[in-house]
Chains A and B, each alone.
Chain A
Amino acid sequence: MLRQELSEKVNYFLQKVKYISGGIVLFISALLKANVPDIPFISFFVNICQHNAWWIIISFTCVGGLSQLLNNRIGSPDIWRIVQHILDQYREEVFGKDESTRKDAEHFHRITLFKHCKWRWALIRWPCSGWLIPAARSGSRTKTKIQCFLASKEHPDEAEGVAGQTWARNREVKVFNLPDLSVNSAPEDNIIEYAKKAFVSKEWISNRMKRNRRGLQCRSLLGICIEVKGIPWGALVIDSRNPEPSQLKKIRSSKLKAYESILSRLLERL
């Protein structure tokens, strides 16, 4: 699930938990100084609260704190909406203004933002290896089941995919003219070459091809490192069905660099 969707779903709930916890802590704290009234039910309630105040206050303070921490980790929906807008504008600048690509469907040329995390749920491989997980993608299509890539700080040579190599090398990685694997029964040699040049294993490619009946249609990739305060935060990956998109020559333009700069500043808060 991409970060914008996740933050929209949980942000409201976590905010409520935080405020309710705060309210309970204040209420119980105030009751500590209250005189126990003679009314039976209320005196019983006040006595219970006063006797158990010590763990109620500690527990709900922790609950409120954890909610805020989790909210900060996920990021506010507003920031992720701005990130989404930047990715859309970036895509528009690269592909939307070019005669040869502006009429293509948006999922033919995509921009995905990957964030480096030390840990993720992974049933197949060790979850603490270090991963690049998808945080946002341009457009409104193909936003589920986006692959995560292995990117370990201890074993950077084993970083997977263009995203992983971009993060590990802290350089921009360009891969053009990948073999066409969208055909039925793509030759074995093409699969091996695709895997080697895209920095993934042959099994990874085979699994992707089984899941997608149209095969792998990405023919070129460009990875751009994203830094926050001088530290590699993740990678921006542009994938295209064009084997050699001339539009990617614009990558060094001042407008696109401005978008990268804004992204770096925004991501400081996440």
Chain B
Amino acid sequence: MWFPVNPKNVEELTQRLPTEGSKVKVEFMVSSYDIPEAVRGFYSEEKDRFIIEFKYIGNEPAKPQLQDDYVTFMVGKNSGRLYGIEIDVKTLGVEEVELRMQISKIKDEVRKTLDNLIQKPINRLRQDNYRLTQKALSEIEDKLYSPLSERGVVTSKK
């Protein structure tokens, strides 16, 4: 289920040219194509991963970009925009802790990798997009990870 988002820091990312005493205002704003419209999170039985996906007004094929042992980003082939995050919850080693801490660990991992992505962007031109996806995630964190709560995160196959 898609959750509509409206990242509130879009205007903060606007660059304004100095007016130099003139009345003319020139601003460079974030492209509408970089602003996520909706987010969803679900557990994929097929891939055995928790997947977060972002929806935009445009669309393009996405390619995987491995971030670390647990997280893979799906980025646009042409634009480098962030289309999805795949978390390998089994490798993350959450089986041995209780559910609340499992979800907390996954959230921390996602936040950490997104922070890294903003610091070291895959595509420097998409830095605003990465900030907006981070903001969008923080707005709906509880609703987004609810499929994990319902499922019990990892019913580890012993």
Contact = CB atoms under 8 A, between A and B. Distances in A.
Nearest to A221: B26
A261 to B, nearest CB: 4
B109 interface: no
Contact of A230 (B35, B37, B76): B76
Nearest to B79: A230
B97 interface: no
Interface stretch (B40-48, B56-64, B111-119, B149-157): B56-64
Interface string A160-195: 000000000111111111110000000000000100
Given A171-B30, A171-B31, A230-B60, A176 B24 contact: yes
Nearest to B57: A261
Nearest to A165: B28
A257 interface: yes
A257 B76 CA distance: 20
- Interface of B, secondary structure class, is loop
A174 B24 contact: no
Interface in A215-270: 224-225, 227-231, 251-252, 257-258, 260-261, 264-265
A171 B15 CA distance: 10
B98 interface: no
Contacts of B27: 173-174
Contacts of B79: 227, 230-231
- Interface of A, secondary structure class, is mixed
A172 B24 CA distance: 16
Contact of B31 (A170, A178, A228): A170
Contacts of A3: none
B101 interface: no
The number of chain A residues touching the other chain, given as a range, is: 20 to 34
Contacts of A176: 24-25
Interface string B19-36: 000111111111111010
Nearest to B56: A261
B57 A257 contact: yes
A197 B24 CA distance: 7
B10 interface: yes
Contacts of A197: 22, 24, 26
Contact of A171 (B28, B58, B61, B76): B28
Interface in A136-177: 169-177
B77 interface: yes
Contacts of A252: 10, 32, 35
Contact of A229 (B26, B31, B57, B60): B60
Contacts of A170: 31, 125
A252 B28 CA distance: 14
Contacts of B125: 170
Nearest to B17: A197
B140 to A, nearest CB: 17
A-B pairs, top 7 by smallest CB distance, nearest first, are A230-B78, A230-B60, A230-B79, A261-B57, A172-B29, A229-B60, A174-B27
27 contacts: A171-B15, A171-B28, A172-B30, A172-B31, A174-B25, A174-B26, A174-B27, A174-B28, A175-B25, A175-B26, A176-B24, A177-B25, A178-B24, A193-B22, A197-B22, A197-B24, A225-B31, A227-B33, A227-B58, A229-B61, A230-B76, A252-B10, A257-B57, A260-B32, A261-B57, A261-B58, A264-B57
Interface of B: 10, 15, 22-33, 35, 37, 57-61, 76-79, 81, 125
Interface of A: 169-179, 193, 197, 224-225, 227-231, 251-252, 257-258, 260-261, 264-265
